[in-house]
Amino acid sequence: MISSLPRAVPAPPGKPVRPEAPRGQERARRLALNPGTWTVEEAAGMRADFDQAAANWSEDRGGYRPPVLADALARGGPFRGSRAVEIASGTGLLTPLIRAVWPEVVAVDLSLRMLSRSAQPGRIQADASRLPLADGCADAVVLGDGPLFAAEVARVLADGGPLIVSNALGDGAPFRVPAEELVEAMATATSRPWDALQSEAHWGIWTILRPA
Ligand SMILES: C[S@@+](CC[C@H](N)C(=O)[O-])C[C@H]1O[C@@H](n2cnc3c(N)ncnc32)[C@H](O)[C@@H]1O
């Protein structure tokens, strides 16, 4: 079941448009529903793109990304446990918000240059399609505008733990995957049904998925 909360954080004028969003969304949906199509070459291209974007990332995009996840964490609970895995952590714009809920955050990203711009402890350079983490080690997984590799999320999540997905530009975000497809991907990976709760906030959309 997918349910929605009414918006609590208004959207100010001036939302940016990312011309690359349609192509990015096509890829994000493909990876969520068909992760076997991810190749070494595609990973290398993704890493190179974000290595190049790293220098200006926080300066250009730091203002609008946190409010979306902040709203998810404020209204999407209850949350339990002490350790979260943040996938696609980038320059760490979202990590302090996650740490305020789960004191231990393991922040994973493909791009060393993005990671090296973060001052947060507990950073690991890795591909989300093959996480170097133990089964069931995470009380929650947070994915802020990154690719969903559902089988790996399911493997590292402790039983019943939530997957929290934040897309800072909502339907215009390059990594946006609709809630229906997020639910489908998690259900396929775990052979059990998942529920989702979603809301719009600022310029974005958040979705919190839990086993039904
Ligand atoms: C749009 S940025 C988001 C960064 C951060 N979450 C934020 O909100 O500022 C996407 C991030 O996903 C990372 N990424 C892309 N593919 C990945 C993969 N397969 N595994 C891990 N990280 C990946 C990129 O390197 C990049 O840092």
In-domain check, residue 6: no
Which is the closest atom of ligand 1 to the Cα of 38?
19
Domain count of the fold of the chain: 1
Question: What is the CB < 6 Å shell around ligand 1?
Answer: 43, 46, 50, 65, 88-90, 93-94, 108-111, 114, 127-129, 144-147, 175
Task: Taking the CA atoms of 75, 174, 55 and 164 in sequence, report the sign of the dihedral they define.
Answer: positive
In-domain check, residue 156: yes
Segment 137-161, tens digit of pLDDT: 999 999 999 999 999 999 999 999 9
DSSP category for residue 169:
T
Please give the distance, rounded to the nearest whole angstrom, from the Cα atom of residue 127 to the centre of ligand 1. 10
Residue 37 zone, left/alpha/beta (φ > 0; ψ -120 to 50; rest): alpha
Closest CA to 164 of 81, 69, 99, 94: 69
In-domain check, residue 67: yes
Please give the distance, rounded to the nearest whole angstrom, from the Cα atom of residue 28 to the centre of ligand 1. 12
In-domain check, residue 66: yes
Residues of the chain with pLDDT under 50: none
CA distances from 65 to 69, 122, 166, 169, 205 (A): 7, 21, 9, 8, 11
In-domain check, residue 55: yes
The residue range of the domain holding 66 is 20-211
Mutate to test the pocket of ligand 1, among 89, 112, 175 (most ligand atoms within 8 A of CB): 89
Whole-number pLDDT of residue 67 = 97
Please give the distance, rounded to the nearest whole angstrom, from the Cα atom of residue 109 to the centre of ligand 1. 6
For ligand 1, atom 11, which residue shows the shortest CA distance? 88
Whole-number pLDDT of residue 120 = 87
Q: Which residue has the tokens 């974007």?
A: 53
Mutate to test the pocket of ligand 1, among 37, 68, 97, 145 (most ligand atoms within 8 A of CB): 145
Which is the closest atom of ligand 1 to the Cα of 49?
25
In-domain check, residue 109: yes
In-domain check, residue 8: no
Q: Are 122 and 85 in contact (CB under 8 A)?
A: no
Whole-number pLDDT of residue 60 = 86
In-domain check, residue 171: yes
Whole-number pLDDT of residue 22 = 97
Segment 26-35, tens digit of pLDDT: 999 999 999 9
Residue 180: give its domain's CATH number: 3.40.50.150
Strands 104-109, 83-87: pairing kind: parallel
